[in-house]
Structure 1
Amino acid sequence: MRVLCDVHVAYRLVSQLRDMGVDATHVNRILDGSETQDAAIAAYVDTNDMLLITKDGDFRDSHFLRGTPKRLLRLALGNVCNSELVTLITSYWPEIAKVSQEDRCYLELSSDGLIRASPLF
Structure 2
Amino acid sequence: MRFLCDVHISFKFVRFLNSIGFETVHVNNILDGFHSKDALIARYADEFGLIIISKDIDFKNDFFIKGSPKKLIKVSLGNMPNQEFQDIFLHEIEKIKSISQSESFIIEVDPSGWTYIILKN
Q: TM-score over 0.5 for the alignment?
A: yes
* TM, length-normalised to structure 1: 0.94
1:5 shift after superposition: 0.3
Match status 1:18 vs 2:18:
yes
User: Is the 1:12–1:86 Cα contact (8 Å) retained in structure 2?
Assistant: no
Letter of the 2:63 counterpart: H
1:94-109 to structure 2, matched below 5 A, reads 94-109=94-109
Over residues 63-91 of structure 1, what are the superposed CA-to-partner deviations in whole Å (9 max), with x where a residue is unaligned?
00000000000001012121111111111
**Structure 2 residue runs without a partner (length 5+):** none
Alignment match, 1:68 = 68
Question: What percent of counterpart residues are identical?
Answer: 36
1:1-121 to structure 2, matched below 5 A, reads 1-119=1-119
1:92 shift after superposition: 1.1
- Partners of 2:97 and 2:7 in 1: CA distance: 21
Letter of the 2:108 counterpart: E
SS at match of 1:21: coil
| 4+ residue segments displaced more than 4 Å | none
- Partners of 1:91 and 1:28 in 2: CA distance: 27
- Partners of 1:7 and 1:36 in 2: CA distance: 9
- Partners of 2:57 and 2:42 in 1: CA distance: 13
**Structure 1 residue runs without a partner (length 5+):** none
SS at match of 2:88: helix
After superposition, the CA RMSD in angstroms is: 1.2
Letter of the 1:78 counterpart: G
1:16 shift after superposition: 1.1
* TM, length-normalised to structure 2: 0.94
1:112 shift after superposition: 1.5
